Structure 1
């Protein structure tokens, strides 16, 4: 029996797209458990049951893999934000996304991990940014102040800070057993009390 045949006995058979998805899924498992620093293309190949060269064929290198993770994350993030009816619910969707996609969330906001000029990534980021801007634009003029950009940063800071503290386990006492999304709604209402209207944060 040839060495090729012997090695093939231990490899799974994937279609092109299936192998890419399998490697991405394995990468997300590793990131969720141990963080992005733990990623190794060779280890992912072992997890997927394919040759050690297979991940490099799809992603070139570790940075390429993390770029794909970030691009996928921003696409999912944009979808989550776009479905929310107003700015407060966009904040809730932000927290929900972080809780349900912690591996994506870890990578997306660390641009030193990936290629920031990747076209797929840029398109997904633009969609997500537009969804956030649309939420700010829906605020009444007295609710967003004179600078829409700063209003957006304020809303982003609240949602991102809450999500980050939640994922790092720092909100257990503050949330007091409530669902994180409901806790965030209460927090948003408290912080943005002066705002009024149906679309207020």
Structure 2
């Protein structure tokens, strides 16, 4: 007597929130692994086991998915900048390097560098407004924490943030190539920033 095949198990229905979360995680992975060109509804759908038609239901279009991803990544960058506030003027010996690592990680592992390059190349620079507001808030917060007799000026704080951000952005995009070319250690740029940063104070 032939054995009957067991009925196929049905996957629990995903909630809209779960679909959005999984889709954004897959979209971020696409961006980090292969750049903006790989960020398609078809590829994101393949990674999470859904059709691109289903994703259109949740995001409206590929542009809607991309906008949602940008928003999610900007929130992460803003969070990293907020944490940097607690480190930048700390008197703890390791705090300054921890702050540098936070910003570098946000641009590299968090994908903020590729996001910024993507926004710039797309010409949609108005999307930088949340970052602009976060950086201004960071400067204002540090300014409020400065003692009245501090020799550190807001101008120096702005220059130090510019210095860190520029290096973090460049290191995330071409740091690996340059380190290999010059035979430098993986955290060479971070060490360089840590050594030079006190000159801004």
Q: If the TM-score is normalised by the length of the shorter chain, which range does it land in? A: 0.5 to 0.7
Q: Paired residue for 1:34?
A: 34
Aligned length: 178
Listed as ranges, the gaps of 5+ residues in structure 1 are 1-7
Aligned equivalents of 2:143 and 2:123: distance in 1? Answer: 28
Stretch of structure 1 that moved more, 29-38 or 160-169: 160-169
- Which residue of structure 2 lines up, in the alignment, with residue 158 of structure 1? 163
- Correspondence 1:35-184 to 2 at 5 A: 35-84=35-84, 85-86=87-88, 90-102=99-111, 104-108=112-116, 110-111=118-119, 113=122, 126-135=133-142, 142-144=151-153, 148=155, 152=158, 154-167=159-172, 168=174, 169-172=176-179, 176-177=184-185, 179=187, 180-184=189-193
Q: Match of 1:5?
A: none
Root mean square deviation, CA, Å? 3.7
Tell me by how many angstroms 1:175 deviates.
8.5
Q: Distance in 2 between matches of 1:97 and 1:162?
A: 12
Q: Contact (CA 8 Å) 1:81, 1:94: kept in 2 or not?
A: yes
Name the SS of the counterpart of 2:108 in structure 1.
helix
* Whole-Å separation in 1 of the counterparts to 2:132 and 2:66: 15
Going from structure 1 to structure 2, the CA distance change for 1:81 and 1:25 (only over 3 Å counts) comes to same
Q: Distance in 1 between matches of 2:10 and 2:192?
A: 48
Going from structure 1 to structure 2, the CA distance change for 1:125 and 1:50 (only over 3 Å counts) comes to farther
DSSP-derived class of the 2:185 partner: coil
TM-score, normalised to structure 2's length?
Answer: 0.68
1:73, distance to aligned residue in structure 2 (A): 1.5
Structure 2 residue runs of 5 or longer lacking an equivalent are 1-7, 90-95
CA gap 1:135/1:16 in 2 versus in 1, 3 angstroms? same
- CA change 1:32–1:14 in 2 (3 A) is same
d(CA) in 2 for partners of 1:44, 1:182: 37
Bigger Rg, structure 1 or 2 = 2
For residues 59 and 125 of structure 2, what CA distance do their matches in structure 1 show? Answer: 15
2: CA distance between counterparts of 1:18 and 1:114?
Answer: 31
Q: TM-score, normalised by structure 1?
A: 0.68
